[in-house]
Structure 1
Amino acid sequence: MLPVFGATPVSDRVVKDRNRITGGGITAGLDFGLELAAELRGEQRARLQQLIMEYDPKPPFDSGSLNTASAETVAHARELLGPSLLAIRAEAERAARRRG
């Protein structure tokens, strides 16, 4: 939905853009927190926090993005989510129009 608001989507889990830092994906919150900790307190402090949390992700499947998921998995996801995504897109377009 980012293009609706004039933003360019990227596949990075954490994005720094001028005075904004954003994260996307369910577990990106942890990545986001570590990036923010590094920004505010330094990389060594963020590394320490990662160790204390024992954050060492190893997903069981390599299908967490459109680039790695099989065509069958992508098609199934689109089938399941299609109606919801259409409604969300319509709402995003209304919000973008209100913004001007």
Structure 2
Amino acid sequence: MKIIIYVYDGMTMLDAIGPYEVLRYMNDAEVFFVGEKRGEIKADSGFIDFNAKYSIDDIHDADILIIPGSPVAFLKEMKNEKVLSWIRQLDKQTKWTTSVCTGSIILAATGLLSGLKATSHWKIIDLLSDFDAIPTRERVVEQGKYITAAGVSSGVDMALYLTNKIAGDLETKAIQLTIEYDPQPMFNSGNYSSSDKAVIQVANKKLSKDAKKGLGLLGLLKNSKYILKLIK
């Protein structure tokens, strides 16, 4: 089972590592972290660097493709025609093409989600409609071979969902136990639909601050409707 996780500067690390920690335990799994170019990848936080051992020029087939998200950097990736073309070509070979968080915006930019339901991070989920996808506020959305996950931590849920589709209940339960994934959050505030207004406002401020920092690091112009959506 050849699993490709696309990585890029400014991505959210858990978007990639969460699914990795699940899928690597599947029998016969081979996981490849692939960047546009080989070498160092800088995470969105600025605290962690990551080494991509493979470039998109090295990888021409996959059973599973995972596209992680990011607070801001997805804006560059969704306009990178070399990367989008590679995703389209790889998608012809995949059994499953998946995304986490704003990775679904990158995936939607390829046109592969046109007319399909998809989810993303709650702050920018409406942007999916700009690429003819149908924004759907669910944690994991399956449409044929396309599976999209909501924000950050939902990548673990998506990976378990996918593992169950491939390997069945017993192996999936065993993997869940292996990583001891037994979430028991202190508060019921992890879902946009069930969070109160005050919590959403504070979260928005944190995300806007993070986005502004990312804009500076990536040198993106602050004049597009996409950026305005992120920083407001």
Scaled by the length of structure 2, the TM-score of the pair is 0.34
Identify which of 169, 177, 186 aligns with 1:43.
169
What's 2:226 paired with?
Answer: 90
2:201 corresponds to 1:65: no
2:202 corresponds to 1:76: yes
Higher strand share: 2
Residues 11-57 of structure 1 show CA distances to partners (whole Å, capped at 9, x for unaligned) of: 22221101211212221121111111111111221111111211101
Q: Which ranges in structure 1 are unaligned for 5 or more consecutive residues?
A: 92-100
What's 1:30 paired with?
Answer: 156
Q: 1:20 to 1:47 in 2, by over 3 A?
A: same
Scaled by the length of structure 1, the TM-score of the pair is 0.72
Moved more, 80-89 or 2-11: 80-89
What's 1:95 paired with?
Answer: none
Identify which of 121, 143, 146 aligns with 1:20.
146
2:132 corresponds to 1:6: yes
Residues 53-96 of structure 1 show CA distances to partners (whole Å, capped at 9, x for unaligned) of: 111011111112221211112223334545849867436xxxxx
% identical aligned pairs: 30
Q: 1:89 to 1:82 in 2, by over 3 A?
A: farther
Q: 1:9 to 1:87 in 2, by over 3 A?
A: farther
What's 1:98 paired with?
Answer: none
2:181 corresponds to 1:55: yes
Residue 76 of structure 1: SS of its match in structure 2? helix
Q: Which ranges in structure 2 are unaligned for 5 or more consecutive residues?
A: 1-126, 213-221, 228-232
Matched pairs, number:
91
Residue 22 of structure 1: SS of its match in structure 2? strand
Structure 1 CA distance for aligned equivalents of residues 224 and 163 of structure 2 = 32
Q: 1:21 to 1:88 in 2, by over 3 A?
A: farther
Structure 2 CA distance for aligned equivalents of residues 87 and 39 of structure 1 = 42
Structure 1 CA distance for aligned equivalents of residues 223 and 193 of structure 2 = 24
Structure 2 CA distance for aligned equivalents of residues 88 and 65 of structure 1 = 28
Moved more, 74-83 or 11-20: 74-83
